[in-house]
């Protein structure tokens, strides 16, 4: 529910612990998760990797790449399921970790469509002061008028600043 205070600190990595056949190998295995999933905590235990593995071997290992792909796919599956089934819980998650997911669109081009479905953004359709981050891209596309081909967006420091923008 709550993001840790040092979540944005790139030097202090948190994340997955790597075990091989129940033997601890590495804390904060950055090869297993991209930066935008830095909120994920857990343990990965592999039987496929050799026990005498080094950090250099981890960087260029096909098993690690397939494990990374599987972990990213699994996390995104869980988030998609949460966003569809329990919107209140996902809204809390979004307010805590949404900034990291926004980075994922840029960092992970292979999963950008899946990440885009997880984004919740403000909209002028909702006329409320506290309606920040309530609209998904699918909701917006569902509301598009017939013949509308483009989506225009504006970036601003706050929702109030965006609503008062002369470009709007």
Quick: pLDDT tens for 62-111. 888 899 999 999 999 999 999 999 989 998 999 888 888 989 999 999 99
The residues near 57 (Cβ < 8 Å, ≥ 6 apart) are none
CB 133, CB 95: distance < 8 Å: yes
39 vs 8, more confident: 39
Upper half-sphere CA count for residue 139 (Cβ side, 13 Å): 14
CA distances from 156 to 60, 115, 148, 164 (A): 40, 21, 24, 10
For the cut 70, the answer to whether the pLDDT of residue 2 exceeds it is: no
Percent of the chain with pLDDT over 90: 28
34-43, 49-58, 114-123: least confidently modelled range: 49-58
Q: So what's the pLDDT on residue 63? A: 86
| Average pLDDT of the chain, as a whole number | 84
For the cut 80, the answer to whether the pLDDT of residue 116 exceeds it is: yes
The residues near 82 (Cβ < 8 Å, ≥ 6 apart) are 89, 90, 93
For the cut 70, the answer to whether the pLDDT of residue 1 exceeds it is: no
For the cut 70, the answer to whether the pLDDT of residue 157 exceeds it is: yes
For the cut 80, the answer to whether the pLDDT of residue 56 exceeds it is: no
For the cut 70, the answer to whether the pLDDT of residue 132 exceeds it is: no
Q: So what's the pLDDT on residue 74? A: 96
Q: So what's the pLDDT on residue 29? A: 79
The residues near 14 (Cβ < 8 Å, ≥ 6 apart) are 4, 28, 38, 41
Question: Phi/psi of residue 19, each to 5°?
Answer: -120, 145
Upper half-sphere CA count for residue 126 (Cβ side, 13 Å): 17
22 vs 59, more confident: 22
Q: How far is CA 34 from the centre of its chain?
A: 9
């Amino acid at each position: 529910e709550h993001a840790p205070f040092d979540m944005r600190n790139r030097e202090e990595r948190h994340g997955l612990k790597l075990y091989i056949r129940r033997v601890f190998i590495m804390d904060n295995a950055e090869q297993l998760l991209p930066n935008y999933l830095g909120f994920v905590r857990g343990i990965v235990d592999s039987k496929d990797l050799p026990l005498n593995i080094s950090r250099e071997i981890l960087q260029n290992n096909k098993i690690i790449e397939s494990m990374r792909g599987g972990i990213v796919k699994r996390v995104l599956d869980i988030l998609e399921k949460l966003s569809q089934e329990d919107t209140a819980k996902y809204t809390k998650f979004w307010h805590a970790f949404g900034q990291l997911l926004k980075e994922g669109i840029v960092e992970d081009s292979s999963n950008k469509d899946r990440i885009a479905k997880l984004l919740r953004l403000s909209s002028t359709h909702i006329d409320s002061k506290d309606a920040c981050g309530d609209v998904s891209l699918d909701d917006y596309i569902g509301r598009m008028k017939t013949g509308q081909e483009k989506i225009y967006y504006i970036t601003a420091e706050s929702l109030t600043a965006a609503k008062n923008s002369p470009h709007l």
